[in-house]
Each structure stands twice: as C-alpha cells, then as structure tokens.
C-alpha cells in the first residue's frame, strides 16, 4: 500500500468554529465590549498584544484581563467579566454528535488554539473527554496553529504518520499548516460536506 493510500487512523479536530462556537474571537469580544461599555479600539489593541502569551499558556486569564480590561478602574468586577466570557461558548450539536459517533472507531485528538482557563471550561462543560483521547491545545504545548510544529507534535504524541491523520478546521490558514506536514485535511463548511469528504477518505461513523 502506498503512503497516499494509508488508512486514516486519527482524526484531529479544531474546537472553536467546528465543534463549539469560538471561545474568544472577534464576535465574542465585540459582544463583551458592548455589554460592558469598554472602548473597542483600546481593548483590541491590548488584546492583540496579549493574545500570543494568553493562548500559549504564558499568562493566566487574570493576567490577560489585567492587561486588556482591568488596567484601570471599572464599574464591573473581574468575576462578572469572566462569567460573561465563559457564557459565550455554545455547542455545535450536530458536528459534536458526529464526532462522538466517530470516537468509537478512530483515535481522536484536538489541535486547537485556546487559553488554558477557557479551554478547560469548555472541555468540562461539553464533556469533551468522552470524545477525545488527546488535547493538543496551544495553552498546553506553547505552540499555535498554523505553526507546523503543533501538527508535528500531535503526530509524535499519537505515534502515527501524517498520511494516517486527517485534520478538520474552519480556517484555510490552519488547513494549510496541516497540509505542509503531510496530513490530509478538510476545511469544514457544513456537516454534510464534512461527512462526504470523510467518506471519500474511507472514514465513516
């Protein structure tokens, strides 16, 4: 059997935008800015500076909020803001259920960019440990997609070749990173399209 025809044994999934809503992306931050009356331009500038350290586990959620929101006196509390951040996470129930069905037949891993506190809240809240064997999250490994090293690390941890793995994400730049290391990849647009693309690779629930 040639490398190109190797059977897929591992499914690697993005989380935000695929299985769940995004945790703290543009829309979630916009809603928070409106909810709490924070200056958007100032917040986004500070967010851009802090997010690399935030998502690679170098700073905590409290430290992130100190840099971006609570560097000055506010009329709301840190706990109120954190609770609002957490409340933005919602399941994409159809894709989540499909992933759950696949988990009995394939090794399942995440490869996702997320801060530690939000990542762990989402794992607990949506019971992701029942689906996934491994969480290759940026906050744990100190690397973010589309850095090729995070995909290689996932393959090393699972001990499979790139040809045995398929990566699923909703962002083209992250798909490109996976393809550069030789993983087969699917840009998610809908559940039907995902099922069809996986079926063409021999993957079915």
DSSP per-residue codes, 70-84? TTS--SS-HHHHHHH
* Residue range(s) of every CATH 1.10.150.240 domain in the chain: 26-87
User: CATH homologous superfamily for 7-22+90-200?
Assistant: HAD superfamily/HAD-like (3.40.50.1000)
| Per-residue confidence (pLDDT) for residue 6, from 0 to 100 | 87
Instruction: Say what the pLDDT of residue 110 is.
Output: 98
Q: List the strands of the sheet with 10-13, edge to edge.
A: 134-137, 107-112, 10-13, 165-169, 184-187
Asked if 32 contacts 81 with a C-beta cutoff of 8 angstroms, the reply is: yes
Vertex 158 angle, CA 190 and 187, to 5°: 20
CB atoms within 10 A of CB 192: 9
Which CATH number is 26-87's, of 1.10.357.10, 3.40.50.720, 1.10.150.240, 1.10.10.10?
Answer: 1.10.150.240
The segment(s) of the chain belonging to CATH 3.40.50.1000 are 7-22+90-200
The 10s digit of each residue's pLDDT in 173-200 is 999 999 999 999 999 999 999 999 999 9
């Amino acid at each position: 059997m040639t490398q190109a025809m190797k059977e897929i044994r591992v499914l690697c999934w993005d989380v935000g935008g695929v299985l769940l809503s995004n945790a703290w992306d543009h829309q979630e931050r916009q809603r928070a800015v409106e909810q709490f009356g924070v200056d958007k331009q100032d917040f986004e500038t500070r967010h851009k500076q802090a997010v690399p350290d935030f998502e690679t586990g170098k700073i905590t959620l409290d430290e992130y909020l100190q840099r971006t929101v609570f560097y000055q006196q506010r009329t709301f509390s840190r706990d109120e803001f954190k609770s609002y951040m957490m409340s933005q996470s919602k399941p994409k129930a159809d894709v989540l259920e499909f992933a759950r069905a696949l988990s009995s037949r394939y090794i399942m891993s995440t490869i996702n960019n997320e801060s530690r506190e939000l990542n762990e809240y989402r794992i607990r809240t949506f019971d992701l440990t029942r689906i996934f064997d491994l969480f290759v999250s940026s906050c744990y490994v100190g690397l973010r997609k589309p850095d090729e090293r995070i995909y290689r690390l996932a393959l090393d941890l699972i001990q499979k070749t790139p040809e045995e793995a398929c990566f699923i994400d909703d962002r083209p730049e992250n798909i490109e990173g996976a393809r550069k290391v030789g993983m087969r990849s699917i840009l998610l647009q809908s559940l039907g399209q995902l099922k069809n693309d996986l079926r063409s690779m021999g993957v079915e629930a």
